[in-house]
Chain A
Amino acid sequence: MLNLLSGFVEELRRAGLPVSLTEHLDAAEAVHHIPIEDREALKYALGATLIKSSSHWHAFETTFDIYFARGLGSGEDGSGDGTESEDGEGGQQRPDGQGQQGGGGASDQMTPEELAAMLFQALLERNQSLMRMVARQAVTRFAGIEKGRPVGGTYYLYRTLRNLELDRVLERLIAQARGERPDADDMSALDQRLLGDEYRGRVDQMRKAVEDEIRRRLVEDRGAQALAKSVRKPLPEDLDVMHATRDELATLQRALQPLSRKLAVRLARRRRHRRRGPLDFRATVRRSLSTGGVPVEPRFRHPRPAKPEIMVVADISGSVASFARFTLHLVYAIQSQFSKVRSFVFVDGIDEVTRFFEQVDDPAEAVARINSEADVVWVDGHSDYGHALSVFYDRWAGEISNRTSVLILGDARNNYHATEDWVLAEIRRKARHLYWLNPEPRDYWGSGDSVVGAYGAHCDRVVECRTLRQLEKFVGDLE
């Protein structure tokens, strides 16, 4: 067990989770206190000792499922049923015609129609063990697993699910459930929605059962360590914003929300807690009366720092589209924390978008409105940093004061237009700080039409900002 645990911890570390030695020891200690055969208890015990952040839970769960797969080594004949606690009750509920035979072994000859009927039955009754059995069948039949291939199983999953046609099953389930109700014809929208959500939840369970089954087989085939390597994914904070898939972006957006709040809180906190203000003589003397005139506790005035002014200038052209969405959410977060934030977006023209963020209290809506309403295209809708910056200078440079921090977000791919980098020199002269956040890997800087070098010369700092972690570090290093 301890060896298995060490392997597991090693894999967590390889996946980027910070697991310290003490935490490893704690886990080893915790394992002694729980019944080892209880998989759920083991999962929570390891989770509580090894994982210290909810955003890491998903990565932990994936690795856990691989290393401590359900019913591992039970073979494909269904004899694994004996190890699963709920299966006792499940056996009795099998639909007619299936009888009591042990698991899927005897039903290898099941026709697709029978399988579909069983799937329907399982979902209708929400019968977990039946779902697992269907999953086992479906994977055998449809996934076409080739032994020894170093893959993570995404394709097998896709193939199996496509054949199960869960969407159509869902429709049929809802239709049937609706038919059973007496008030079928005049069901309110609310009831319909509730019914739909109920069955959608069950179908998700089914999907998960299939996923588990595929994973179990892959582990059997190639061993836990090899599989873990194939499915290893970057943690949310290490995800590359530029190349994230749509699903990953959704995860990122969810991760960004608490993070941007954290960043904003940290910025605000920094400001408030830099130091104590000067001694408040009057309050100190007054306070000292209670200690017989001895000033035991000096009182201080609250510091009154000047309000920082922030101007954010973001590239929202196609080349940085996903980065732009990400930064707009960030701008929103910053704007909700500080009173004096002005935001601008550009492609080859530039427009102020502060008003969009002020009017609505939902970031997604603000982003949508910016994309549709902001006037950012001047000629052809390809990035022209030179033009955008010089317009920015003409129209708004007068409002930059020595308390203003200017943040520019973009990849500085200028399509070989003039750079007009004198604008940045001017801004730098007027503003308190000038930062450039570049979503491209540092290695690509200066290649092709990237002119980040020319601009960077005038900035206080140019930072690579592709992941949440880098963004967090940038904010942490401020001042």
Chain B
Amino acid sequence: MTTDPLGLGDIGPPRFESVPAVREGLADVGYLADEGIAGVVYLADRLAKPVLVEGPAGTGKTQLAKSVADLTGSRLIRLQCYEGLDESKALYEWNYRKQLLRIQAGQVLEGVAAAEPDHHTPTWAELEEDIFSEEFLLTRPLLEAIRAKEPVVLLIDEVDRVELETEALLLEILSEYQVSIPELGTVKATTLPMVFLTSNNTRELSEALKRRCLYLHIDYPDIERERAIIRSRVPGITDELADQVARIVRSLRTIELRKLPSVSETLDWARTLVILGITSIDAAAAKDSLHILLKYQSDIERAAKELLSASD
């Protein structure tokens, strides 16, 4: 295993000991991972590969990156993607204003200094080198993650929102962990960041991007995990209520709804019930608070009909 398929040189000491260690570690920072999630995080570290996380909204994709940052004691650098994101917002940008100021200041000083006998006029090459130095570089999240000396976790959120062409910007970072700046040369990462990309699957990502990543699909959790999540994230909830919430949500997910209740909505619901002082959900309580779980009127009506009216 000493072979290094990526040619990245040293990929650094392992961050995690084993898959169970990842799982326990994540649980300690409040993220209950299942076997698949922990396994992929572990592999991402060992193979030095980015992780592309897909899945329904509100299942903890972004939270995963945050929790891994917590667990490894790394800084989280986040790039929120949106339509129209470009190089100057994602990678780096030259600080035009400062460069301009530098040139103008140079001209003024020049005027003063020209009177001196042993005056040396700076050449164009010198000036160019000067204004294209790191001092005039504005780093944006991607470059920042590459240049960081301390360990970082880079989160590229909702990558499906950028246009297909903009995706290409990410490729160099994802496969080589480097950024090429024409005027400066190539900046290589000193410590490899852990990279997470999240996608809500609104469009198909390019093959090139997918090929460079490990793929992790986070689905709705099974009932045991959901119950555990509720218990750990909702303070003051009784085991009985948590169990009931988890079971109701599981039943709801079997109905055909436009938008299924996500984990975050489940947690909101559980919190609401705790605040309202409800210890056991009956039909009336469920009906009154369904709107927290479901976001469409037609869904609420259908759920109420399926779950709360007399059995089939």
| Chain A residues within CB distance 8 Å of chain B | 18, 20, 22-23, 25-26, 29-30, 32-34, 40-41, 44-45, 47-49, 51-54, 57, 188-190, 192-194, 196-198, 201, 258, 261-262, 265-266, 269, 273, 290-292, 294, 296-297, 360-362, 364
Contact = CB atoms under 8 A, between A and B. Distances in A.
Given A48-B214, A48-B215, A197-B251, A29 B163 contact: no
A267 to B, nearest CB: 11
Given A29-B47, A49-B215, A190-B286, 10 more contacts: A26-B49, A30-B43, A40-B39, A45-B39, A48-B216, A188-B308, A190-B282, A197-B250, A273-B83, A291-B97
Contact of A23 (B96, B201, B211): B211
A32 B97 contact: no
Given A33-B47, A34-B43, A47-B36, A198 B309 contact: no
A52 B52 contact: yes
A145 B248 CA distance: 40
Contacts of B19: 34, 41
Interface stretch (B134-142, B151-159, B202-210, B270-278): B202-210
Given A30-B47, A33-B43, A197-B254, A265 B203 contact: yes
A18 B207 CA distance: 10
B89 interface: no
B211 A362 contact: no
Nearest to B306: A193
A20 B207 CA distance: 10
Contacts of A26: 5, 47, 49, 214
A189 B283 contact: yes
A29 B214 CA distance: 12
Contact of B311 (A34, A49, A57, A193): A193
B129 interface: no
Interface in B239-270: 244, 247-248, 250-251, 254, 256, 258
A197 B244 CA distance: 13
5 contacts: A188-B308, A189-B308, A262-B201, A292-B100, A361-B296
Contact of A44 (B40, B282, B283, B310): B40
A233 B111 CA distance: 80
A262 B217 CA distance: 18
B172 interface: no
Nearest to B287: A190
B39 A194 contact: no
A44 to B, nearest CB: 4
Contact of B283 (A48, A190, A291, A362): A190
A194 B104 CA distance: 75
Interface centre among A41, A57, A364 (most CB of B within 10 A): A41
A189 B309 contact: yes
B258 A361 contact: yes
B292 interface: no
A178 to B, nearest CB: 11
B39 A192 contact: no
Contacts of B52: 52
A354 B213 CA distance: 43
B244 to A, nearest CB: 8
A48 B296 contact: no
Contact of A262 (B47, B203, B283): B203
B59 to A, nearest CB: 12
A261 B202 contact: yes
Most buried by B among A20, A44, A296: A44
B176 interface: no
A261 B259 CA distance: 14
The 8 closest A-B pairs by CB, nearest first: A52-B210, A44-B39, A48-B214, A44-B36, A33-B46, A54-B217, A192-B311, A197-B251
A205 to B, nearest CB: 11
Contacts of A189: 283, 307-311
A32 B83 CA distance: 39
Contacts of A297: 96
A38 to B, nearest CB: 8
Nearest to A187: B311
A70 to B, nearest CB: 15
Nearest to B222: A201
Contacts of A53: 204, 210, 215
A190 B307 CA distance: 5
Contacts of B204: 53, 262
Contact of B256 (A188, A266, A364): A364
B298 interface: yes
B282 A188 contact: yes
Contacts of B281: 190
Most buried by A among B1, B43, B55: B43
A47 B202 CA distance: 21
A18 B211 CA distance: 10
A362 B202 contact: no
A298 to B, nearest CB: 13
Nearest to B251: A197
A53 B216 CA distance: 9
B43 A48 contact: yes
B54 A188 contact: no
B41 to A, nearest CB: 10
Contacts of A52: 52, 210-211, 213, 215
Contacts of B296: 361
B100 A47 contact: no
A32 B248 CA distance: 41
A198 B19 CA distance: 30
A193 B258 contact: no
A127 to B, nearest CB: 15
Contact of A34 (B39, B100, B306): B39
Contacts of A33: 1, 42-43, 46-47
A72 to B, nearest CB: 21
Contact of A32 (B1, B35, B254): B1
Interface in B186-215: 201-204, 207, 210-211, 213-215
A183 to B, nearest CB: 11
A47 B5 contact: no
Given A34-B19, A189-B308, A194-B248, A48 B40 contact: yes
Given A188-B282, A193-B307, A194-B251, A262 B215 contact: no
Contact of B258 (A57, A273, A362): A362
A34 B52 CA distance: 20
Contacts of A45: 39-40, 43
B5 A29 contact: yes
A269 B163 contact: yes
A201 B223 CA distance: 11
Nearest to B94: A296
A24 to B, nearest CB: 11
Please indicate which of the listed interface residues A54, A262, A296 has the most CB atoms of chain B within 10 Å of its own CB: A54
Contacts of B211: 20, 22-23, 52
Nearest to A194: B247
A197 B215 contact: no
B104 A292 contact: yes
A57 B214 CA distance: 14
Nearest to B281: A190
